[in-house]
Amino acid sequence: MRRLFLIPVFLFTTFLSPLFAEDPGFEVVRPHAIEVLRHELHDADQWVKVHAAEALLQMGYPEGVEVAFRQELVRHGDQPKYRIGIWRVLARATASPHERAELIGKIKTIFFDSDAPDRMHAIETMGKLQVGLSDEEQASVAQYASEAQDPFAFWVLAQNGRTEAVAELESLEQSDDSVTALRATFCKKQLQPVSKEDWLAADGRMQVLSALKSEDVRPRRDACQMLGRFGTPDDRSLLLPLLKDIGPDVRIYAASALLRIERRQDLGIGILDWVVILGYALSMLLIGWHYSRKTKTIDDYLLGGRDMKSWMVGLSLFATLLSTITYMAYPGEIIKHGPMISAGLLVIPLVIWVVGWFLIPAFMKIRVTSANEILEMHMGPSVRVLGSFFFLALRLMWMAMIIYITTKAVLGPVLGLDPKYFPLVCFLLGAITVVYTSMGGLKAVILTDVIQTFILFFGAILSIILISVHFGGFSWFPTQWDPNWDSAVLWFDSDARITFAGAIMMFFFWNICTAGSDQMAVQRYLSTGSVKEARSAFTISMGASVLVQVLLALLGFALISYFIANPQELADGMNVRTHADQVFPRFIISTLPVGITGLVVAALLAAAMSSLSSGLNSVGTIITVDFLDRFGEKKLDEKFHIKRARAVSWGIGAAIVALSLLVDNVQGNLMEVINKVGNLLVAPLFLLFFMAMFVPFANTAGVWAGAAVSVAVAVAIAFYEFLGLSFIWIMPCSLITGVASGCLVSLLTGGKKRASIESA
């Protein structure tokens, strides 16, 4: 009887159970796909080996690739055509920018040698590596493209900004030569990739299913490539059998497609995360409503009644200047370029001494509301207006940048938002901040800043703890200089993007210029009761800044190790090094547990909203005091005064939301964008205060001349790389040249007359 019972069990397991079996999970598929790629890397023929190596590098599994191709370089480095493939792989695999440049130089040399037998392979590789060309090199490539009608040459020209090359590719797609037409189509797709919507509309899925049945290798390979771009987890059943295909390129593309599909899994936040995020936003609004009932005078609204506690003011100043951009940019800077930026922390004691014992006492001598009132006392109304203009331009651009980058780099990836909804999200983020800021004034701003400070620290610490738990310790901490980072340069070097000395210089100048002129900083000194309390607030702010920057640097180190060990958790097409600014948001959405994700997203929102609220309050103060009160009706009752100040906040909110849509035009990583846009006018603004308070012979003409030179130098370095200087030189160069020019013009025009000061 037992044997009779086993017969149906055998029949079910043999013939029926496969019909009910689930597709293997990615945990099973992934190692199988990687094994296929590594097998082809070591055992396949030459160009198949190249394709396997590139797939492994693209998907984040570089182990063994560089070693294998250094061996290929020894064996076949002089073999025409294949040598190009070897150099191409090594250029992608090497961690040394210098070696990559040398390899690209070799590829260029082959192309520019008209007698070389592998010019076509060289120009194709230049396109795949997205090689930049000088004007002279572009002219040579254009001449070759015109003579040879080579689609790869037009592709390279299009990558280098030659828009007419795209039209040439479209023409070559109609060529009678099938090979030329095929290559032109390939190049055109690289420049203008087909969207998933267009692919589905063109019945692309049915074409893929048909191609998979073809006996030719190319259609099956191309079908795998399209499934890699647009396939879903359900397509694993189509791709798994192809891992044993007779065509090695089909096996490679099938394995790569399976790995890409895993990276494109839809990730979203849970209901609990939304509850946390909405709860945070609601609490901010409630704080604003609470303080709106306690605000009686314009001094209460703009300066918190001048009796705020120093520790709260210090944390508020810290949270104000640490925006989401810095919160995101600092780990990204560490990941991509290394820890040289952290050298700036070494100058903190000097900053505290200069600001605490020289600048703060100078501001606290006079009970003003707007810092720019000091400019009028010393230099006259025109310089006050200039200072107000500089501050408004500086902070409006800064706030617009915060809103846009928070939406694009944080909320977009984390919430899975379509870019078409970015303007709406920008509006909502700005509106919530404007509501609680306009209702509660500076007291609401400072309290929410304190809360947001603790959330910021919590988000960074929690992420570090979770990564440490994943590794079972602190093995993620680097023990040597990563070869992918910029070379460690100790002293100043104009050819280097950043050096240790340069980081110290940039950090010193930024802190001094900001603390000595920015209304957001000055307003907080003035909200305290004495010089001692203001100095204490600034010291607390600097201490918090040191602590959070150390935490963010550690987080950058931890994220590098985490995603190198778990590349499958990166998005499709994402690389730890080249997409460094997006790594932290990806970690939040792909790794953190439900609920914790909401808390960390709240931390990122806190970083944005703390800066926005302070910016709105300070900009509103400048507009109210320096323009409306200064040039408008003098006698207003307090209720109307407060009501008008709130209306100003709403107007500012609308302006920054509109400006936020223009930020995407600035090139560079987040750290560079901060300095090119957000900090562009920091030094020119401080120049006005420095000349007014510390240069006895300065006059109005000198200040205006110095300001003009300072702005011109800042723009030239930021956007035109004047004298080859990087972004770290924007503030020191613009300040020094501005001060020198201002002093010179002041002396040439007779200097300042004491009578004018006394009568001002």
Nearest Cα residue to 598 out of 145, 208, 271: 271
CATH 2.60.40.420 for the 271-759 domain, yes or no: no
Per-residue confidence (pLDDT) for residue 754, from 0 to 100: 39
Please spell the DSSP secondary structure of 453-496, one letter per residue: HHHHHHHHHHHHHHHHHHHTSSTTS-SS--TTSPP---S--TTS
Q: What is the mean pLDDT of residues 720-724?
A: 78
Per-residue confidence (pLDDT) for residue 14, from 0 to 100: 38
DSSP symbol at 192:
S
Are the C-beta atoms of residues 113 and 119 closer than 8 Å to each other? yes
Pair of tokens at residue 455: 């959330």
Using one digit for the tens of pLDDT, what is the confidence trace for 166-199? Answer: 999 999 999 999 999 999 999 998 998 888 888 8
Per-residue confidence (pLDDT) for residue 16, from 0 to 100: 38
Using one digit for the tens of pLDDT, what is the confidence trace for 514-527? Answer: 888 877 777 777 77
| Highest mean predicted confidence (pLDDT) among 49-63, 271-285, 357-371, 679-693 | 49-63
- Of the two residues 564 and 434, the one the predictor is more confident about is 564
Residue 552 has pLDDT above 80, yes or no: yes
Per-residue confidence (pLDDT) for residue 307, from 0 to 100: 56
Q: What is the mean pLDDT of residues 564-589?
A: 85
Residue 127 has pLDDT above 90, yes or no: yes
Using one digit for the tens of pLDDT, what is the confidence trace for 69-116? Answer: 999 999 999 999 999 999 999 999 998 888 999 999 999 999 999 999
Are the C-beta atoms of residues 410 and 328 closer than 8 Å to each other? yes
Residue 295 has pLDDT above 70, yes or no: no
Using one digit for the tens of pLDDT, what is the confidence trace for 497-507? Answer: 788 888 888 88
pTM attached to this predicted model: 0.78
Question: Cα 737 to the chain's mean position, in Å?
Answer: 30
Query: Cα–Cα distance between 422 and 404 in angstroms, integer?
Result: 8
Residue 717 has pLDDT above 50, yes or no: yes
Per-residue confidence (pLDDT) for residue 249, from 0 to 100: 93
pLDDT category of residue 8 using cuts at 50, 70 and 90: very low
Query: Cα–Cα distance between 582 and 663 in angstroms, integer?
Result: 17
Nearest Cα residue to 94 out of 453, 577, 541, 686: 577
Q: What is the mean pLDDT of residues 301-309?
A: 55
Nearest Cα residue to 415 out of 553, 235, 563, 605: 605
The per-residue pLDDT of the chain, averaged, comes to: 82
Using one digit for the tens of pLDDT, what is the confidence trace for 232-255? Answer: 888 999 999 999 999 999 999 999
Q: What is the mean pLDDT of residues 49-78?
A: 94
Query: Cα–Cα distance between 605 and 750 in angstroms, integer?
Result: 52
DSSP symbol at 80:
T
Question: Cα 588 to the chain's mean position, in Å?
Answer: 15
Per-residue confidence (pLDDT) for residue 278, from 0 to 100: 85
Backbone angles phi, psi at 144, to 5 degrees: -65, -45
SS3 of 382-449: HHHHHHHHHHHHHHHHHHHHHHHHHHHHHHHHHHCCCHHHHHHHHHHHHHHHHHHHHHHHHHHHHHHH
pLDDT category of residue 317 using cuts at 50, 70 and 90: low
Per-residue confidence (pLDDT) for residue 102, from 0 to 100: 94
